[in-house]
Every structure is written in structure tokens, then in C-alpha cells.
């Protein structure tokens, strides 16, 4: 079983990376394979709303988003981490998530996320992590993913990576996410082996409120 951890920070080894590493250590201890994907420092453009992903099964802009989409097909679970910028997700992560999940929403082939577990992690100096955390959860819940929770909302407070170890509660919550994710993956695997049927697919209904 493989969990992809996405570091949405421009800092490869910044505070977000350290928070994710705490999750990763425990996942590995629980026997789960992990891979970390860094979104990098190159600008990730926002969604063009061109709808081409419905035909292509991937985004028309061929960058980190499509690179991750390929990896996501093979993953069983996901942790998406972002630093907080102006009380919200960092700009690159917002664009990354919009295009990643819009191409999932549009494409009936190559579904990478449906019925897989996910958790979001937000890292801030002081304020805005709850907003970023709920932004992340919205991508998961629009795609029939299972949100793995912890004992609080998933945030770690630090201005710089050296401050991360000081947030003992935040790091404890990271470890709880990992334990719960590992447990959930084992349950899914057991269900698969026992032949528990997947939920029936409801034909989509798409209205703009009532029309």
C-alpha cells in the first residue's frame, strides 16, 4: 500500500516538509510505503477552464499537475500539505489542486482519487490554517474520497523549520493522521479481500441549483 505525500511549499525542506515527515515516519512504521512529491518553485498556472481534460483525461497544461496525476493512479492514499499564505493555501498549491481535481472531475477514465483516503495538512506561523485546511478538504469531498481525521484540525505552527519540533501537539496530530490512515488502508484491503462490494455508482445529476 502506497501513500503519496504532497509538499506544496516552495521550500523543499521547510516547515511543511517537516510536518509531512512526521506523518511519513509513522506510516512507514505501520508498514505503508510512502513517496513524497514536491510541487517545486516553478509557477503553476491556474485552471484555464477550457474543459480539454474531459477529452484528454489529463490537463492541457503539461506540468507538475500531470506528473502527479500519473503517480496518483498508483497510490492508495494521499496527504496534501500546504504552507499558509495570507490565511489560505499557498498560490501554487491552489492552482495545483484546482487543475488536478478538475481534471479528475471531468475525466471518466483514469480516476485517481475516488474512494481513496486523504488528509490535508496546513502549516502556518500563527493564523489562517483552519481556512487552508478546509480548502483542502473540499477537494477530497467533491471526489468521493474518505477524509482521514486526527484529534484536532491538521495544522502545525512554525515560522521556520527549526520551530516545528516545538509544536508538540501539532506533531502528535500528524502521527495520529498516519495511524488512522494506515488503519483505514488495512480496512479497505480487508474489505477488498472479503469481497465487500464497492458502492453502486449513481448516475451523475448536474444542475445549477435547480435548473
Ligand X SMILES: Cc1cc2nc3c(=O)[nH]c(=O)nc-3n(C[C@H](O)[C@H](O)[C@H](O)COP(=O)(O)O)c2cc1C
Phi, psi for residue 142 in degrees, rounded to 5: -90, -5
Question: Contact 46/197 with Cβ under 8 angstroms?
Answer: no
Stretch that binds ligand X, among 82-90, 110-118, 193-201, 203-211 (CB under 6 A): 82-90
Crossing angle between the packed helical segments 129-141 and 91-106, to the nearest 10 degrees: 10
Least distance to ligand X, CB of residue 65, Å: 20
Does 174 help bind ligand X (rule: CB under 6 A)? no
Q: Which of 9, 95, 103, 173 binds ligand X (CB under 6 A)?
A: 9
Contact flag: residue 138 with ligand X (CB under 6 A)? no
Residue nearest to ligand X (CB): 14
Least distance between ligand X and beta carbon 5 (Å): 13
Least distance to ligand X, CB of residue 121, Å: 10
Q: Can residue 12 be called a binding residue for ligand X (CB under 6 A)?
A: no
By the 10 Å C-beta count (0-12 exposed, 13-18 middle, 19+ buried), 41 is classed as exposed
Q: Is 110 exposed, middle or buried (0-12, 13-18, 19+ CB in 10 A)?
A: middle
Amino acid at each position: 500500500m502506497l501513500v503519496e505525500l504532497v509538499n506544496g511549499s516552495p521550500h523543499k525542506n521547510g516547515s511543511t516538509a517537516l510536518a509531512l515527515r512526521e506523518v511519513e515516519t509513522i506510516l512507514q512504521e505501520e508498514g505503508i510505503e510512502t513517496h513524497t512529491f514536491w510541487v517545486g518553485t516553478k509557477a503553476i498556472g491556474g485552471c484555464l477552464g477550457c474543459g480539454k481534460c474531459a477529452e484528454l483525461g489529463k490537463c492541457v497544461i503539461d506540468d507538475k499537475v500531470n506528473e502527479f496525476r500519473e503517480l496518483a493512479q498508483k497510490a492508495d492514499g494521499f496527504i496534501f500539505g500546504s504552507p499558509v499564505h495570507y490565511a489560505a493555501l499557498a498560490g501554487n498549491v491552489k492552482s495545483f489542486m484546482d487543475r488536478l481535481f478538475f481534471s479528475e472531475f471531468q475525466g471518466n477514465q483514469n480516476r485517481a482519487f475516488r474512494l481513496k483516503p486523504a488528509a490535508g495538512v496546513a502549516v502556518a506561523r500563527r493564523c489562517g490554517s483552519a481556512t487552508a485546511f478546509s480548502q483542502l478538504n473540499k477537494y477530497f469531498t467533491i471526489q468521493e474520497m474518505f477524509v482521514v481525521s486526527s484529534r484536532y484540525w491538521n495544522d502545525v505552527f512554525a515560522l521556520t523549520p527549526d520551530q516545528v519540533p516545538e509544536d508538540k501537539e501539532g506533531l502528535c496530530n500528524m502521527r495520529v493522521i498516519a495511524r488512522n490512515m494506515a488503519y483505514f488502508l488495512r480496512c479497505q484491503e480487508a474489505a477488498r479481500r472479503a469481497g465487500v462490494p464497492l458502492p453502486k455508482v449513481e448516475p451523475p445529476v448536474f444542475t445549477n441549483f435547480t435548473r
